[in-house]
């Protein structure tokens, strides 16, 4: 090895020779996911004569293959998540062994060239597997008689950018530690750190804030972007890639306009991570092989991040165990559990970092005090709603659409300004009310889709004896869209040219045939009943076990439930001799 250049070539050949099984396994998975999948798609898709023209049949044959290539991308995002850290571990594993790192750094090659050589070896193996997959896929398509290279080239671009990002991410994590098994811990911890803390805060908020629970929490755009694999699987999902869109020349990037920008942004972040990893590689000392964290300035960050997450999460678990028989939530008790568990995790991390049991000194006690202050501050902020999460009610101008249901009525989604205004008024009344009635049966669940692309979801049990809540609920119920949705959701959709229908007693399945004239008369009666004023009690009032089906030439109007407020309809049904029994059980 007479020069650094020849040494670099030797290192690349060595990496390929020693670590090819990693990318071989990846290529093996890719082979069955894409080339074999394409072959099976073509082998079991026969469209001859179904679409009329030869051009239409060609599109029908090619579209499933393009769809398969695009639909495989979310799965490959997950595969590359694991591949990135495995490659980083094998390529830079020598940094974790004192003998190996000393030998490598004694070679006549600079650290920069060693770093770039190892990374290039890993990325070239990844690229070779991806290119081989595309070549075999093109061969499979050629044998099936319909070759479309565009989806496969887009697939190649996507997996290359994802592979580069995750490999750079894994390389950065490998530079921070001297323990091989700590690399995946740091890697996956950083990948899901923001989402994990978001969930912990959401779990605490759901315990002490009305209207919130963990099922209603939605990860915002910031949380998704900082959890790369979640964001990539979302933006690469080709939901709208239909055959008609493909026929018009649509691709993944035209159907999912956020896909390419997201990939390029993550690739740019990968470049920054690679530069940072290179700087850390040059700065780390060979003697730190075997240390959990090789940089002293990074150790406090590790202590607090791990101890904070452990204290919050394990504290919630312990609190729930001891609160099984409790009737009310207690923030002091929760914080006490979190302080104890946070201290245990902090001390355990301190022992690992120092590689000693002798950790009880002034520095440890000061660090532990700082952790306790942080945990107490989190509890105080949630209990006092310092960030106005519980009291947040969006302004009407912020809302694009609203989806909600009251009591047991069908869910309604609308952009009607009057309904949005009514929902916001009820939401505000519930937020300001201090009289929740958990056993009333009056439930209100709402999801706002805001104009900034985010959503806000809340759920409440209402006390209708609160004057403000009752007033807002009554006004909302009596809006025309809600009266219609409660009685005849498809009102006006199918016209009024009836062909007959049925009235069914759901208690005993007895059915009465309705004539065209009776259907029209019942429809007019239902129209009149939609104008009747409604009260909150109508929401849970016991109804009749009946179902009306009014058939038109276009479709069928279905009425699932009637109660005393449907005066015109019930009176007309009595004239027709149609009598329904009441439902045995309240819903």
Q: Which residues pair with 511 in a beta bridge?
A: 504
* Chain centroid offset of residue 508 CA: 44
Whole-number percent of the chain with pLDDT over 70? 91
pTM of the predicted model, to two decimals? 0.84
Domain ranges across the chain: 4-192+227-292, 195-221+295-391, 396-477, 484-575
Give the Cα separation of 40 and 38 in Å (integer): 5
pLDDT in tens, 513-522: 999 999 999 9
Q: How many residues does the chain have?
A: 587
Q: Find the range with the poorest average confidence among 324-328, 368-372, 503-507.
A: 324-328
> What CA–CA distance (Å, rounded) separates 21 from 73?
22
Instruction: Read off the pLDDT band of 162 (50, 70, 90).
Output: very high
| Residue 461 dihedral angles phi and psi, to the nearest 5° | -100, 125
Given a cut of 50, is residue 198 above it in pLDDT?
A: yes
Sign, Cα dihedral of 46, 49, 50, 55: positive
At 440, the pLDDT band (50, 70, 90 cuts) reads: low
How confident is the prediction for the chain on average, in pLDDT? 88
Measure CA of the first residue to CA of the last residue in the chain; give whole Å.
Answer: 82
Cα(346)–Cα(350) distance, integer angstroms: 6
Most confident of 219-228, 370-379, 493-502: 370-379
Output the six-digit token pair for 161. 């950018």
């Amino acid at each position: 090895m007479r020069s650094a250049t020849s040494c670099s070539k030797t290192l690349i050949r060595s990496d390929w020779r020693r670590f090819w099984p990693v990318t071989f396994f990846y290529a093996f998975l890719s082979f069955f996911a894409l080339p074999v999948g394409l072959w099976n798609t073509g082998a079991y898709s026969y469209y001859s004569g179904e679409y009329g023209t030869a051009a239409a049949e060609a599109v029908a044959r090619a579209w499933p293959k393009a769809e398969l290539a695009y639909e495989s991308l979310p799965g490959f995002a997950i595969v590359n998540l694991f591949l990135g850290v495995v490659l980083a571990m094998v390529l830079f594993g020598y940094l974790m062994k004192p003998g190996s790192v000393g030998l490598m750094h004694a070679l006549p090659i600079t650290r920069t060239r060693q770093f770039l050589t190892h990374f290039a070896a890993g990325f070239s193996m990844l690229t070779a597997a991806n290119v081989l997959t595309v070549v075999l896929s093109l061969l499979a398509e050629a044998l099936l008689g319909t070759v479309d290279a565009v989806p496969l080239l887009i697939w190649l671009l996507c997996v290359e950018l994802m592979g580069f990002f995750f490999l750079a991410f894994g390389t950065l994590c490998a530079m921070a530690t001297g323990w091989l098994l700590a690399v995946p811990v740091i890697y996956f911890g950083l990948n899901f750190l923001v989402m994990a803390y978001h969930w912990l805060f959401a779990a605490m908020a759901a315990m002490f804030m009305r209207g919130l629970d963990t099922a209603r929490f939605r990860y915002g755009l910031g949380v998704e972007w900082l959890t790369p694999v979640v964001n990539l699987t979302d933006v690469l999902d080709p939901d709208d890639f239909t055959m008609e869109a493909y026929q018009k020349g649509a691709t993944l990037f035209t159907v999912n306009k956020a896909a390419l920008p997201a990939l390029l942004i993550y690739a740019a972040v990968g470049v920054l991570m690679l530069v940072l990893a290179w700087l850390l590689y040059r700065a780390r000392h060979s003697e730190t092989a075997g240390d959990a964290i090789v940089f002293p300035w990074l150790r406090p960050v590790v202590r607090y991040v791990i101890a904070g997450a452990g204290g919050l999460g394990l504290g919630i678990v312990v609190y729930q165990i001891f609160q099984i028989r409790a009737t009310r939530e207690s923030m002091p008790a929760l914080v006490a559990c979190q302080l104890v568990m946070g201290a245990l995790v902090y001390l355990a991390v301190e022992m690992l970092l120092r590689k000693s049991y002798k950790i009880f000194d002034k520095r440890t006690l000061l660090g532990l005090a700082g952790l306790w202050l942080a945990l107490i501050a989190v509890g105080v902020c949630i209990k006092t709603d310092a960030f106005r999460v519980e009291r947040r009610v969006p302004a009407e101008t912020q809302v694009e659409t609203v989806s909600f249901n009251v009591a047991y009525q069908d869910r309604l989604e609308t952009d009607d300004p009057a309904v949005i205004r009514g929902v916001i008024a009820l939401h505000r009344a519930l937020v300001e009310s201090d009289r929740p009635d958990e056993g009333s049966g009056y439930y209100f669940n709402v999801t706002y889709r805001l104009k900034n692309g985010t959503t806000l979801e809340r759920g409440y049990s209402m006390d209708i004896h609160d004057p403000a809540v009752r007033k807002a609920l009554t006004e909302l119920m009596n809006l025309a869209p809600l009266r219609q949705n409660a009685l005849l959701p498809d009102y006006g959709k199918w016209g009024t040219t009836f062909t007959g229908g049925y009235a069914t007693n759901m208690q005993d399945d007895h059915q009465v045939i309705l004539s065209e004239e009776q259907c029209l008369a019942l429809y007019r009666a239902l129209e009149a009943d939609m104008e009747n004023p409604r009260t909150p009690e109508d929401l849970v009032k016991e109804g009749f076990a009946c179902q009306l089906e009014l058939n038109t030439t276009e479709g069928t109007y279905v009425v699932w439930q009637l109660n005393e407020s449907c005066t015109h309809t019930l009176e007309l049904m009595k004239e027709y001799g149609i009598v329904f029994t009441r439902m045995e059980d309240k819903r």
